[in-house]
Amino acid sequence: DAGVIQSPRHEVTEMGQEVTLRCKPISGHNSLFWYRQTMMRGLELLIYFNNNVPIDDSGMPEDRFSAKMPNASFSTLKIQPSEPRDSAVYFCASSSRYTEAFFGQGTRLTVV
């Protein structure tokens, strides 16, 4: 398996624009997590899904953030409208009942 695949690897966008981050979890994993990493706050869990259902979205900072998992092999994290303070590295991770979480390489988002 190629591991958790995230796209794009880098995204630069202007304030106010919509940004969509994508994640393909490891095949067979039934849990998917979105994390955000910043220098100030470190790694923070934004939301996680179990069997495609959102379980805990208490980490989503604002209503501008939304996440979907339409099927077991794909998830998106959308920010609309984006703001400069959303600049961070966004990680997706997946796990199963029998394995620990495996992380993707991340998407570095810069909002100017």
Cα–Cα nearest to 92, from 28, 11, 17, 3 = 3
Q: Residue 33 interacts with other proteins (CB under 8 A)? A: yes
Sequence-separated contacts (24+) of 54-60 with Cβ below 8 Å: none
Instruction: Using the structure block, give the residue that is written with the tokens 């470190």.
Output: 42
- The contacts of residue 9 (CB under 8 Å, 6+ apart) are 105, 106, 107, 108
Q: Residue 34 interacts with other proteins (CB under 8 A)? A: no
Q: Residue 102 interacts with other proteins (CB under 8 A)? A: yes
Pick the binder of other proteins from 8, 14, 28, 43 (CB under 8 A). 43
Shortest distance (Å) from residue 80 CB to other proteins: 25
22 vs 64, which CB is nearer to other proteins?
Answer: 22
Binding site for other proteins (CB under 8 A): 4, 31, 33, 42-45, 48, 50, 55-56, 91, 93-97, 99-106, 108
